[in-house]
Structure 1
């Protein structure tokens, strides 16, 4: 089937597909890590508004 489509650079097409798959898998791993970190730091005992106010007051 690929022999019938000689005008397509199959090496390039396959390389691009593999790179996209690798990037997607990497993205999924990073998102999972980010979710876990967010869950771990979700309740630190102080609200974000208090942290922002504290930061502003220091200026």
Structure 2
């Protein structure tokens, strides 16, 4: 696909926002009320990084980016 730069940037921003939502949900699921919040933040950040990487790899392999 021959997409313009603006469309590619929009797709990357959408992937980042989607990954933020996934990271927030994973952090909320990982957090327990009796434990500190730090490990849940780290877990959510790791999930964010993994899901963003996965989204970008899939879009690159489909020749969208």
Query: TM class, shorter-chain normalised?
Result: 0.3 to 0.5
What's the TM-score once normalised by structure 2's chain length? 0.44
What's the TM-score once normalised by structure 1's chain length? 0.48
